[in-house]
Homo-oligomer: A and B are copies of this chain.
Amino acid sequence: MTDTEKPKRHIDLLAPEQERLRSARPGDRLVRLRRPKIAGVRRLEDGVYEVISDTPRGGAVSQALYRLRRTLLGAPIRSEHEAHERLSKKIGLPAFGSDNISSSAYASEELMRVLLLAGVGALSLTLPLTVAVVVLAAIVVTSYQQTIRAYPKGGGSYVVSSDNLGTVPGLIAGASILVDYILTVAVSASAGVAAMTSAFPALYDERALIAVGAVALIAWMNLRGIRESGAIFAAPVYLYVVFLFGLIAYGVYRYVMEGQPPAYVPLPMDEAHAHHVGSQALTAFLILRAFASGAVGLTGTEAIADGVGAFKAPEARNARVTLIMMAAIFGTIFIGVSFLASWIGIVPDPREIETVNSQLTRALIGTGWLYYTIQFTTALLLILAANTGFADFPRLASFMSRDKFLPTHFASRGGRLAFSNGIIVLAVVASILIIIFQGSVTALIPLYTVGVFVAFTLSQSGLVVRWWRLREPGWQWRMSINAVGATVTAVVAIVVGVTKFALGAWVVLVLLPFLVVLLLGIRRHYHDVADQVTVDPNERDEHPDTVARAFAHYLLIPVKELDRTALRAISYARSLTGQVTQGGTQGGAQGGGATAQSSHVVIQAVHVTDDADTAHALQEKWERYNPGVELVVVESPYRAFVGPLLRYIDAVERRHSERTAVVTVLVPEFIPAHWWENFLHTHTALQLKGALLFRPRVAVTSVPYHLEA
């Protein structure tokens, strides 16, 4: 642990260092080596170096790619600066809360739309059901307060369920939430674009493309790092909150002062839609279904608990305060809208052209510039709700990847400390969903809620088990809170599952078991690999001292001609294996002279040909020049190259019985000066490598030979 504590000078000298490299002379190498900053590498102690530059050293192309990347994503950030990239409450609220807060823009309407099936009179249940949903949200939020306290490093349903209920419940919760975040992105982008296209119908045909573009934009911002994207996307969230609070305050003021609701003309209703209204009886099932529809507002509640690690210290405290702020904002707007809509007597537009929030705004303040500003801000917020998916999905995927349930790619942070692979995968999958569903919110939304409530239930139940197990002071009331939460969310999960099953919830319910099996399979693979490669430090069977002595090496060098490429490869092989002539004799008489030949390394040049004449000529040339290694001719009567060489390798491998024959094929590789010159060379080296890739105990070495222009 001493390494982390040791103070490190952070020398950010990229530009001046480049300058110095450019002015370097070949002569001053040794002098420059003493200097610590040479070539962007600094020696910290014996055997420990630090790379202090991230600029590539390569040619024009890689330099240009590097500059492009830097322009798009910004300068890379050092790992130890991770704490600087954390979020304050001010930025954490919009980053993780935009999903939840944005649902206040449509939760009232979703609820009212179901009630309307039992007639306009049933809308009187809007406010009571809204209060019920907000109470549910309060219960869930209270539970999450405890979750964050218990899991200060980030405790979404996945972590809590895995920890307390076991692997499979944890995976069910994790898979549900991952699916939910993907849907968050697809639904938010689609909903936001739908709001835009209702203002500009000309864009309607391109809505899927615009939604994908919005997803790409948000993904790009997130690749620049969570702090930067959080800051950029904060404004619309706060703007929405200010506008809606103002609107509700104004509405309540008029309710108190005037008593009389403003004049409201319900939207025209055509035949096609009118007969839906009042078509059903106000059964308990319908009321439950309305409640379930309103409960869509709870999606995104999980986000902050998952993202605790992204907050500035003290992480847990900041996260908990942010969570309460988020819930308060959501609850206020939700109840405010439902209350005012009920007071004014607003009826949802059965044609689904104008939203309830729009009608409410219009009824209260008319259709002036403020109305349009509020509508536009709402549309922007709906798109930005996707940002919560981007803030949390990669983080959750990294947790699951660290536990080996997802590919390791998800656990690595990019140049800007973002979980880049998770961001890219999320953007791609959500875009595919948008394209498949052609940006239709109605088609996507039924898939949306059920997974969240399954995860809530598991997470609450996990905490119940935890409190019971630990019996810390005050465990009784903690357990009671979570038990209530678990029960309520379980009921909602069942209600949502049943009421929305046919509309699409079945997709998620069918998908989840598949995902769980897949995740388990991935972990099994990693465990299998680990079992195979892990070394017991007390066993010496695999120790190089033991193993190295059992190897007999064959270095095979495929040659076409006795040319520089072949000689380069032979020199490489001979010097590497210590088969160099001793002393200064240069003659190199037939038979190798004073070559220090190790008996367990055999170097052979292999000439594969169908032409015995040229082979014979090469043999004679070889004997005269004597490059110090044996030439083997493999006649290939069918003119193939790779196949016969493989056959010869077979024969070599079978020659040994005491030692393990290890064949290394040394491929002299032609690197032309220009890419198009590649068309002029047969890429036997590449073919050979492809063919040898799947053979155990055959290594392939590429010895590059760079052609000049």
| A residues neighboring B (CB under 8 Å) | 1-4, 29-30, 32-33, 38-41, 44, 47-54, 56-59, 76-80, 407-409, 412-415, 522, 525-526, 528-529, 532-535, 537, 540, 542-549, 551, 553, 555, 561-565, 567-568, 570-572, 574-581, 585-586, 588, 598, 600-601, 610-613, 615-616, 619, 621, 624-625, 627-640, 643-644, 646-648, 650-651, 654-655, 657, 662, 664, 669-671, 677, 679-682, 689, 691, 693-708
Contact = CB atoms under 8 A, between A and B. Distances in A.
A248 to B, nearest CB: 46
A354 to B, nearest CB: 46
A669 B572 CA distance: 22
A333 to B, nearest CB: 41
A547 to B, nearest CB: 4
B708 A704 contact: no
A688 to B, nearest CB: 12
Given A616-B2, A651-B38, A706-B696, A625 B525 contact: no
A515 B624 CA distance: 42
Contacts of A704: 693, 695-699
A133 to B, nearest CB: 41
Nearest to A52: B637
Given A525-B677, A612-B4, A680-B408, A572 B50 contact: no
Nearest to A548: B575
A79 B4 CA distance: 67
A51 B648 contact: yes
A635 B51 contact: yes
Contacts of A655: 33
B580 A548 contact: yes
A700 B700 CA distance: 8
B701 A41 contact: no
List 3 A-B pairs, minimum CB-CB distance, nearest first: A3-B612, A548-B575, A51-B644
B79 A694 contact: no
A638 B545 contact: no
Contacts of A650: 39-41, 57
A540 B693 contact: no
Given A634-B51, A639-B413, A657-B30, A682 B1 contact: no
A563 B533 contact: yes
B548 A638 contact: no
Contact of A575 (B53, B551, B619, B643): B551
A689 B577 CA distance: 23
Each complex incorporates copies of this chain amounting to 2
B696 A639 contact: no
A606 to B, nearest CB: 9
A577 B579 CA distance: 10
Most chain B beta carbons < 10 A, residue from A621, A630, A632, A644: A644
Contacts of A627: 543-544
B542 A576 contact: no
B586 A543 contact: yes
24 contacts: A3-B613, A4-B613, A38-B654, A49-B651, A51-B644, A52-B637, A57-B646, A79-B638, A79-B639, A409-B682, A413-B639, A415-B639, A415-B640, A528-B707, A532-B564, A537-B625, A544-B574, A546-B586, A549-B575, A575-B662, A669-B693, A671-B696, A695-B704, A699-B702
Contacts of A625: 535, 537, 543
B408 A549 contact: no
Given A47-B632, A408-B680, A548-B575, 6 more contacts: A3-B612, A409-B682, A529-B707, A545-B628, A548-B572, A548-B581
A431 B543 CA distance: 60
Contacts of A33: 651, 654-655
A227 to B, nearest CB: 17
Contacts of A601: 576, 578
Most chain B beta carbons < 10 A, residue from A29, A79, A568, A655: A79
Contact of A47 (B408, B631, B664): B631
A537 B548 CA distance: 38
Contacts of A630: 47
Contacts of A76: 638, 640
A633 to B, nearest CB: 5
A651 B39 contact: yes
A60 to B, nearest CB: 12
Most chain B beta carbons < 10 A, residue from A563, A576, A578, A655: A576
A269 to B, nearest CB: 52
A530 to B, nearest CB: 8
Nearest to A43: B651
A639 B537 contact: no
A188 B696 CA distance: 51
Contacts of A671: 693-694, 696
Contacts of A412: 639, 682
Contacts of A4: 612-613
A634 B564 contact: no
Nearest to A54: B638
A600 B575 contact: yes
Contacts of A637: 50-52, 78-80
A542 B526 contact: no
Contacts of A635: 44, 48-51
Nearest to A622: B47
B39 A654 contact: yes
Contacts of A657: 29-30
B647 A53 contact: yes
A326 to B, nearest CB: 31
A706 B2 CA distance: 37
Contacts of A705: 533
A83 to B, nearest CB: 14
A680 B407 contact: yes
Contacts of A619: 47
A612 B80 CA distance: 10
A38 to B, nearest CB: 7
A519 B549 CA distance: 54
A572 B407 contact: no
Contact of A549 (B32, B580, B697, B706): B580
Given A56-B643, A647-B53, A701 B698 contact: no
Given A49-B651, A616-B2, A624 B537 contact: yes
